[in-house]
């Protein structure tokens, strides 16, 4: 069984979409999504600098658009259900996955992620907050240290990685006194996502969600809340709203994929992070990171073998 997974914020790098603009139809697709998002995603994916695309209001629609555009290329018009048995996204990547699964149209997904990005950017600007990856160490020890510093385990990514979130002062104290046998790596994000610091963004996003008409997913679609499959589109959309202020349990999503019998994992652009986690958390599962058009042949071979 093949799982298609969609990365979250922080996966973007300057110029990552440049090679894709040489693939017929991709620029036009991105231009359409740019109109919906009211921002130039082609420029942001090709020429904008790192600081520009770090902005939450830019990064989130950019990542979703990149995933949708590259997924269309690799599937080459085939229905999603012919290729994938499972879809999952990490953080904002859940919106990419929801659109791929048919819960939202591409236009609705772009409108929704644009509202999400702006709302979270505003919430992040209200207080100096951030996130840092804690890599290594015993999980219980890491969680205990985070509690001591009043930090939230905002992303539990499995494979020995937990992302802490809180104020910059709290994160600085964590970096000065890391858990035993662990490294603390600051992340290039603008705020403490998936914590109560994002509470104000939830209310605005709920108003945006109320304007949408979600459909039930065409393939098994997993939720960040608990890694569970969600068969009803309305419930999944409700989870997308509340997940802004709730922790991401990617460790649980990986376990669910294993329990379902996933044997191949394809990560859409900007790819690499989730395939990397799967190498440690889903041992034995074949993975392809769709970073550039040079990866298309490998991705299509993976689909043929594991669909």
User: pLDDT tens across 161-208, in order?
Assistant: 999 999 999 999 999 989 999 999 998 788 899 999 999 999 889 999
| pLDDT tens per residue across span 33-50 | 999 999 999 999 999 999
Identify whether residues 148 and 100 lie together within a single domain: no
Pair 15, 82 in one domain: yes
Distance CA 140, CA 83 (A): 38
Please check whether residues 64 and 134 belong to one and the same domain: no
- Parallel, antiparallel or unpaired: strands 264-267 and 2-6: parallel
Co-location of 213 and 81 in the same domain: yes
**Do 176 and 256 sit in the same domain of this protein?**
no
Q: Do 28 and 176 reside in the same domain of the chain?
A: no
Domain carrying residue 148: 129-186
Q: Tens of pLDDT along 229-244?
A: 999 999 999 999 999 9
Can you point out the beta strands (E) in 228-279? 264-267
Q: Which residue, 75, 134, 132, is CA-closest to 102?
A: 75
194 is an active site residue: yes
pLDDT tens sequence across 137-172 = 999 999 999 999 999 999 999 978 999 999 999 999
Query: Is 91 considered catalytic here?
Result: yes
**Chain mean pLDDT for the chain:** 95
pLDDT at 294 over 90: yes
Residues 115 and 23 in one domain: yes
pLDDT value, residue 127: 87
Which CATH number fits the domain that encloses residue 223?
A: 3.40.366.10
Which of the listed residues 186, 203, 235 is the one where a domain comes to its end?
186
Q: Among the options 29, 44, 90, 194, which is catalytic?
A: 194
Residues 162 and 117 in one domain: no
Query: CB-based contacts of 94: which residues, under 8 Å, 6+ apart?
Result: 6, 88, 223, 224, 240, 243
**List 91, 208, 223, 252, catalytic entry:** 91
Query: Is the whole-model pTM more than 0.85?
Result: yes
């Amino acid at each position: 069984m093949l799982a298609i997974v969609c990365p979250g914020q922080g996966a973007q790098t300057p110029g990552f979409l440049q090679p894709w603009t040489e693939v017929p139809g991709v620029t036009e697709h991105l231009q359409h999504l740019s109109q919906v998002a009211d921002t130039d995603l082609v420029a942001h994916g090709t020429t904008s600098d790192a600081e520009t695309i770090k902005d939450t209001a830019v990064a989130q629609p950019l990542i979703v658009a990149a995933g949708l555009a590259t997924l269309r290329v690799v599937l080459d018009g085939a229905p999603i259900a012919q290729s994938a048995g499972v879809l999952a996204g990490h953080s904002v990547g859940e919106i990419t996955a929801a659109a791929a699964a048919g819960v939202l149209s591409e236009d609705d997904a772009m409108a929704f992620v644009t509202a999400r990005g702006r709302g979270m950017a505003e919430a992040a600007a209200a207080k100096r907050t951030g996130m840092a990856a804690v890599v290594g160490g015993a999980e219980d020890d890491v969680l205990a240290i985070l509690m001591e510093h009043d930090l939230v385990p905002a992303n539990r990514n499995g494979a020995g990685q937990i992302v802490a979130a809180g104020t910059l002062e709290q994160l600085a104290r964590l970096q000065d006194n890391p858990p035993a046998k662990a490294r603390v790596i600051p992340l290039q994000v603008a705020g403490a996502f998936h914590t109560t610091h994002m509470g104000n963004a939830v209310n605005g996003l709920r108003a945006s969600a109320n304007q949408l008409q979600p459909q039930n997913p065409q393939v098994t679609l997993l939720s960040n809340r608990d890694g569970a499959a969600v068969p009803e589109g309305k419930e999944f959309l409700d989870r997308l709203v509340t997940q802004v202020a709730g922790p991401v349990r990617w460790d649980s999503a990986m376990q669910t994929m294993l329990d379902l019998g996933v044997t191949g994992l394809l990560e859409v652009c900007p790819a690499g992070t989730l395939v990397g986690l799967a190498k440690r958390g889903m041992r034995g599962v074949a993975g392809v990171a769709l970073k550039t058009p040079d990866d298309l042949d490998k991705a299509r071979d993976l689909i043929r073998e594991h669909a």
